[in-house]
Structure formats: C-alpha cells, structure tokens
Structure 1
Amino acid sequence: MLTNIIDYWQNLFNPQFRLSAIKVAFCVGTILFLINHGNALITENMTRQRWISAILTYFIPYGVNIHGQWTSQLKRQENL
C-alpha cells in the first residue's frame, strides 16, 4: 500500500502524464471554478479564502487524471 502511494506521488510529476493532466485540469478546473466561484468573481466578492479554494480547484482534476493514466499503465504492464 505504501509503495503504491509513493509511486503515485512520483507520477504526479511524470513528464509522460503531465501534458494530458494539465489540459484536463485546465478544462475541468475552469468549469468547476465557474460553478463554484463565478458569481463571486462577477460580483467582485472574491476573498482570500475563495482564491485559495479556486486555485485548489485545479489540482483535483490534475490528480485524478494522473491517477487514471498511472493505473491504466499498470494494468497494461500486468497484461504483458
């Protein structure tokens, strides 16, 4: 279990996965940002805490995409 967690953290910065994950994070993160913070942005009610939350909104799709690519790669290697 610990080995899987360490492998995942190392793959968060894997150049093989990075570009796709950044694209997904930008698209999905922007949609989530607009859903969660769009009104506050338009009405100029973005507090420091909201900005922190908004920035973190982009990390979730990035991490999920990396996880998907990584587990897919592991399954392909198991089938060889």
Structure 2
Amino acid sequence: MHEFWRVAFSRRIAVNALKVSLVIGTILNIINQGENILHGLPVAWAHVFLNYFTPYCVATWSAAKNELSRRTDK
C-alpha cells in the first residue's frame, strides 16, 4: 500500500489529476449550481469542493492503479 501512495502522489499523476479535476469539477459545478451562479444566489461551497475533489480522487486512483499494474506486467 505504501507503494500505491508513493505513485499516487508522484508529480506526473498529481498534475494530471489536477487538470482532470479542474475540467470535470467545473462542468459538475455548472450542471449542479449554474442556476444559482447565474442568478446570484448562494452557492453550496461544500458541494463546490466535492465537485473538484471527487474527480481528483478518481483520476489519481485510476492512474496509480494503472501504473502499478503496468509495472507488474513487465
């Protein structure tokens, strides 16, 4: 498990996951809270955070598992 976290927090995977998170998180926030944003209504900040954090976690997990699998397939 230690190896998983080392790979998951490697610069390459973290930067890629951040890029994915910014794109997908923005889309999710527009879908989920676009009307509130357009009408100047309050935004649920916990949901904003989760809309970015969730895709970051999914991208990180997927890339790290793929990298570890690739290493053991050699």
Taking structure 1 as the reference length, the TM-score comes to 0.78
Query: Do structure 1's residue 24 and structure 2's residue 12 form an aligned pair?
Result: no
The percentage of aligned residue pairs carrying the same residue is 28
For the residue of structure 2 that corresponds to 1:58, the secondary structure is helix
Return the alpha-carbon distance in structure 2 between the equivalents of residues 52 and 79 of structure 1: 40
Q: Which runs of 5 or more structure 2 residues have no equivalent in the other structure?
A: none
Query: Do structure 1's residue 72 and structure 2's residue 66 form an aligned pair?
Result: yes
For residue 60 of structure 1, the aligned residue among 54, 62, 73 is 54
Give the aligned CA root-mean-square deviation in angstroms: 1.8
**Cα shift at 1:13:** 3.0
Runs of 4+ in 1 over 2 A off after TM superposition: 6-14
The code of the aligned residue for 1:52 comes to A
- Contact kept, 8 Å, 2:20 with 2:59, in 1: the verdict is yes
- Contact kept, 8 Å, 1:25 with 1:59, in 2: the verdict is yes
The code of the aligned residue for 1:42 comes to L
Write the deviation string for residues 38-63 of structure 1: whole angstroms up to 9, x where unpaired: 1011111124xx02211221001100
Query: Do structure 1's residue 51 and structure 2's residue 60 form an aligned pair?
Result: no
Taking structure 2 as the reference length, the TM-score comes to 0.84
Return the alpha-carbon distance in structure 2 between the equivalents of residues 35 and 14 of structure 1: 31
**Cα shift at 1:14:** 2.4
